[in-house]
Amino acid sequence: MNTHIAPRWLAATGIMSGVLYYIGGHVLQPTGDPSQGMKDTEIVEWARDSYGALWAGGIVSLASALLILTWGVVLADRLDVWTRGRAVPHVARASVALTAGVLGISGIMQVLSGAASMPGEPLESESAVPVLSILYGNLAASAWCLLAPAAVCVALSGAAPRWMRITSGVLAVPLIATVALPPVSWPFGMLWVIVISAGLLAIPAEVRQSEI
């Protein structure tokens, strides 16, 4: 991969993945939370009233997962330049790939929830839509704790900018802590992705050239 353009691709895909995640999982998300005491029949009605938003949100969430998968590849490329520890880039790549995989599964579930709730669409199981609707939201919010190893890797990369290593180390702490309660990990994970992406975009061009 061309390491001269890698930081800009990293910034673009990282920031955009966070933006799309928020749009797909929060802006387009219908009012109401199926996981908060709603009965199955209420969830089915909720989904049927908002099937278009569910379907569109799932598509956007899938796009976010694909972007963060690309971001992980470029992040590993950058860490390969910044560290002598050969395991560090591989661990970071696996961490981001696993996160993207869970986010992708969540997006597919969201799409299926919307598609199964379309008018005239027969339900093979009355519990299918409630199960999908509850799972996709919890998976999407929980996936971000899986970025903790990647955040630690950036913190340990000796040649990375000092402020970036410190910031990554600070955000790695709540990401590790949220393993005990994964659904609260998404603000910390998304903040880490955006901050690291924006930081890499700000690296002077002469520094990027010297790393080639």
The domain limits of the chain are 6-210
Six token digits for residue 63: 């796009």
Cβ neighbours of residue 30 closer than 8 Å, sequence gap 6 or more: 46, 47, 49, 50, 53, 54
Does the pTM of the predicted model rise above 0.75? yes
pLDDT in tens, the chain (212 residues): 444 455 576 778 999 999 999 998 888 888 877 877 788 888 888 888 888 999 999 999 999 999 999 999 888 888 888 887 678 999 999 999 999 999 999 999 999 988 888 887 665 556 788 888 889 989 999 999 999 999 999 999 888 889 999 999 999 999 999 999 999 999 999 999 999 998 778 765 434 444 44
Q: Measured between alpha carbons, how far is 102 from 107 in angstroms, rounded to an integer?
A: 9
Residue 142 CB: number of other CB atoms within 10 A?
A: 22
